Structure formats: C-alpha cells, structure tokens
C-alpha cells in the first residue's frame, strides 16, 4: 500500500491478508476498481464504505464509470477524517489512473499528479493510454471544477 497524499492510499487488491494494515492506517473507505468483487465488507474494518466499481483493464473507462469512481473518492475525502484505499488487482493501471483522474479533477496538472503517484507507487501507470482519452480528461476536469473546487479538505489531497 502506497501513501500518495495525506489521506489517499493506492495499491493491490484489498484482501483479508491486508486487513490489519488497512486498520493500522486508519482507512475509512475502500474503493475497488478491479473486475473482481471485493473480499472485504464494511464490518471488517470497520469501514464507512467498501465500494466496487467494475473497471476492465486496458480498456477505455466509460465516462459515467469514471465520474462514479472519482465521486466516490471525493465523498470519502470530504467526510470527517476520511481516508481512502483505492485498489485494483495489481495496483498498476486502474487504481492509479482513477486516482490520477481524481487529482486532475481537483486541479492538479497531469504531470504533477502522475509524479505524485509514481513517487510512492513506483510501478504505477497513472493515466494509462488505454484507459483514458482526451474527451474523458476534459469531462473529468470540468466535473471537478464544477463539483469539487474549492476542495473542502485540501490537506487530504496534499502530499504527505
């Protein structure tokens, strides 16, 4: 598990073997963007939410799915003491890309968001070219500007 911002972690599948670490990190919400259903439940954490948004790897993320995913991240982070673990299977493509999209929606430049993610998750490929296109990026940035800014908890998306 890699801490990318003060309150966002990204990594591999949230299995029962990782439960103790999630608890130690005081994660409040888990977002699974893999194509495999979640193993954990809200009672396991206890977590406020465990959400599964099925995203196929190496395929363009549909706009409505991307918005649902970044809205889920945002809801977690604006809640009191929100801390989210965002994962897919390997933690290389989908979860770093959804996190990257969220950071773009929050006003980060594309290269700045990618550097922030890769500084911790060295094998991540945020903004994977098979997962995003220019239309999706424009929609995400517009959605963030209209719905997330100014951010209610800017420290949550700041570098630790």
31: in domain: yes
Domain count, the chain: 1
Q: Report CA Rg, the chain.
A: 14
Residue 94: domain span: 2-149
79: in domain: yes
Sequence-distant (6+) residues with CB within 8 A of 43 are none
Q: What is the mean pLDDT of the chain?
A: 97
- What does the pLDDT look like over 2-48, one tens digit per residue? 999 999 999 999 999 999 999 999 999 999 999 999 999 999 989 99
159: in domain: no
Instruction: Name the phi and psi angles at 36, rounded to 5.
Output: -125, 130
156: in domain: no
pLDDT score of 157: 98
- CATH number of the domain that 64 lies in? 3.90.190.10
Is 70:8 a contact under the CB 8 Å cutoff?
no
Distance separating alpha carbons of residues 106 and 150, to the nearest angstrom? 8
67: in domain: yes
Taking phi first (over 0 means left), then psi (-120 to 50 degrees means alpha), and beta for anything else, what does residue 115 get?
Answer: alpha
15: in domain: yes
pLDDT tens digits in sequence order for the chain, 160 residues long:
999 999 999 999 999 999 999 999 999 999 999 999 999 999 998 999 999 999 999 999 999 999 999 999 999 999 999 999 999 999 999 999 999 999 999 999 999 999 999 999 999 999 999 999 999 999 999 999 999 999 999 999 999 9
């Amino acid at each position: 598990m890699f801490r990318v911002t003060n309150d966002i972690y990204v990594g591999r599948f949230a299995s029962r073997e990782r439960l103790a670490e999630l608890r130690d990190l005081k994660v409040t919400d888990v977002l699974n963007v893999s194509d495999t259903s979640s193993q954990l439940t809200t009672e396991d954490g206890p977590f406020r939410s465990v959400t599964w948004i099925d995203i196929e790897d190496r395929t363009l993320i549909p706009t409505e799915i991307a918005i649902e995913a970044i809205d889920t991240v945002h809801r977690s982070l604006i809640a009191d003491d929100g801390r989210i673990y965002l994962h897919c299977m390997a933690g290389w493509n989908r979860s770093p890309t959804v996190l990257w999209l969220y950071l773009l929606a929050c006003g980060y430049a594309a290269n700045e968001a990618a550097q922030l993610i890769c500084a911790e998750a060295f094998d991540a490929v945020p903004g994977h070219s098979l997962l995003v296109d220019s239309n999706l990026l424009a929609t995400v940035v517009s959605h963030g500007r209209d719905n997330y800014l100014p951010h209610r908890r800017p420290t949550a998306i700041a570098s630790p």
